[in-house]
Amino acid sequence: MSPLYAMVLGAIVIALLSVSLGRLHTIKTRADYLVAGRTLPAFVLVFTLLSSWIGSGSLLAGAENAYRHGFAALWQAAGGWAGLVLIYFIAPRARHFAQFTIPDLLETRYNQTARILGVIAILFAYTAITSYQIIGGGDILHLIFPTLNATVGKYIITAFVVVFTAIAGMASVAYMDVVIGLLATFTLIVAMFVVLHTVGGWAVVTHRLPATHFEVFGDFTWADAMELFIPTMLLMLGNQSMYQKFFSAKSERDARVAVVGWVIGTVILETVIVALAVFGSAMFPHGEVERRPREIIAYVGLHGVPPLLGSLLVGAVFAKIISTANNYLFSPATNLVNDVFVRYVAPNASNRFALIVSRLMVAVLGLWALYEAMHTQSVLKQALYAYTVYSAALTPVILAAFYWKRANAAGAVAAIAAGTIVTVGWETPLAHRLFPPTWTQLDAIFPALAAALLCLVIVSAVTRPPRREQLTPFFPELSAGD
């Protein structure tokens, strides 16, 4: 392997470390660490939102789907696009609320029980998401350095992620994302056109691949497409990492402007990633990558394009995975500090002590994510599991907090519990004994989301409505006496 790839990877690691260390002097308080002192402008928000969303879920799971099924893999990306359209209207409301975490929102709008259950659901979902970033990073290190075992690569990636995340918190994550986002956007677009030209153009691609690769549903059924679309859309709508970015914005206007840039960037990059994987499948239909199609983007960077572009492409994929892992590791660490430690253990803790505990929580959760990575075989399956836990348990009650005044604490607690329990238990032997095979063959998102919505609506309807003070932070017009 050309030393150029190792040099580029080393340069990226040094650049990311420099960005983190460069933000360290700005961290004085808990707010500085958790939400960057609420100072992020729209430009920075665009890239940190983009980087937190597009990671291994797109570059590995999405690319694997595209390698096997063609452009129908965009159903997964399309769920995110649909969620983004709705987020445009949520962003300023979220910035107006301006707290630290989703459980902050859940307690303010509902009660303490909702906060605790929210923390549990986030820990399940976000450590799972971090785990498959670790898998992806380990795969790339193994591809670049074949003598390096992929398992060792996972340990190295975990160390990188923990160090980068722990140094400066949200400021570190956000400003690293600007560097990573610019690099990834440029290299992925250029690589897509180079691979298409190298393989012989669009006519050759369509000739080599099955016709279903270019159809709207491809070889998916409608239910298959919805199993990709719905969890992704609901994860996007309720994504705590996203809300933390909105809480970190300088103003409500910056939050809304950032969503516009995020929509444009996500549509472009998700489409480019799928197209690059499809063109790569025409270039490399057999061999090593056929057995491990999740590596198609990195494999193209190593074997399908000129070395300089290839090294930048592999480096960009590596950096995006690190970035996404940073975001999804930092988010639950924030929950443990803000929603458990400061809330229940040491409410009078100094900023210095809270910062020490914050960094310790990053390390602990990094080890948990590493353990999950060691016991995960399918990145796509792990991604959909994580999306479903979050989508079913939290997204309905988060959206209801902003848009349904009748939603109350009892309904929210029932919905979070039902969504989490059904998702985690759907593939257990007990579920197979309780329900007919035609039901258990469905993806968990359908029964879990149905259970959560039914609990939210029915329990809220038959119990006492929320108090006025619970509604005012989410419906500003009520504070004016409406």
- pLDDT tens-digit map of 255-287: 777 778 878 888 898 999 999 999 999 999 887
Instruction: Kindly state the average pLDDT of the residues 204-232.
Output: 89
pLDDT of residue 309: 92
Q: What is the mean pLDDT of residues 34-40?
A: 57
Q: pLDDT value at position 247?
A: 64
Which DSSP helix (H) or strand (E) runs through 421? Answer: helix 409-425
The better pLDDT of the pair 256, 421 is held by 421
Which tens digits make up the pLDDT trace of 292-326? 888 899 889 988 899 999 999 998 888 888 877 87
Residue 227 CA to residue 219 CA, distance in Å, equals: 14
What tokens appear for 123 in the block?
A: 């820990």
**Position 237 confidence tier, pLDDT thresholds 50, 70, 90:** confident
Q: What's the pLDDT score for residue 378?
A: 65
Check residue 69 and give its pLDDT. Answer: 93
Model pLDDT for residues 435-448, shown as the tens digit of each residue? 787 777 777 888 88
Query: Higher-confidence residue: 461 or 241?
Result: 461
Say if residue 465's pLDDT is above 80.
Answer: yes
**Cα–Cα distance for residue pair 94/255, rounded to 1 Å:** 9
**Does the pLDDT of residue 28 top 70, yes or no?**
no
pLDDT confidence of residue 325: 82
Task: Give ∠ CA 52-99-172 in degrees, rounded to 5.
Answer: 40
> 151-205, pLDDT tens digit by residue?
898 999 898 888 877 765 555 566 667 777 778 888 999 999 999 999 999 999 9
pLDDT value for 278: 95
Domains and CATH numbers, the chain: 3-387 (1.20.1730.10)
At 471, list the tokens.
């509604």
**Across 194-218, average pLDDT:** 93
Question: How many angstroms separate the CA atoms of 156 and 473, rounded?
Answer: 43
DSSP secondary structure string for all residues of 209-272: S-GGGGSSSTT--HHHHHHHHHHHHHHHHH-HHHHHHHHTBSSHHHHHHHHHHHHHHHHHHHHH
pLDDT, position 293: 86
Give tens-digit pLDDT for 354-413: 778 878 888 889 998 999 888 876 666 666 677 777 778 888 898 898 889 999 999 999
Structure tokens at 311: 């090294």
What is d(CA 143, CA 294) in angstroms, rounded to the nearest whole number?
Answer: 12
Q: CB count, 10 Å around CB of 22?
A: 15
Contact 234, 388 (CB under 8 A): no
Query: DSSP assignment, residue 408?
Result: -
* Mean confidence (pLDDT) of the chain: 81
Q: How far apart are CA 249 and CA 261, in angstroms?
A: 14
Q: Are 195 and 300 contacting, i.e. CB atoms less than 8 angstroms apart?
A: yes
Q: Are 354 and 82 in contact (CB under 8 A)?
A: no
Token pair recorded at residue 474: 């989410």
Residue owning tokens 């109350």 = 408
Predicted local confidence at residue 70, as pLDDT: 93
Q: Please state the pTM of the whole predicted model.
A: 0.75
pLDDT tens track for 71-124 = 999 998 888 888 877 777 766 666 555 555 677 788 888 988 888 888 888 888
Query: How many other CB atoms are found less than 10 A from the CB of residue 62?
Result: 27
**pLDDT at 23 (0 to 100):** 61
Contacts of 283 (CB under 8 A, 6+ apart): 195, 198, 199, 300, 304
Query: What does each C-alpha distance from 91 to 9, 237, 370, 390, 406 come to in angstroms?
Result: 35, 10, 32, 19, 21
Least confident residue range of 128-132, 378-382, 418-422, 427-431: 378-382
Q: Answer whether residue 475 shows pLDDT above 60.
A: yes
CA-closest candidate to residue 65, choices 298, 278, 364, 326: 278
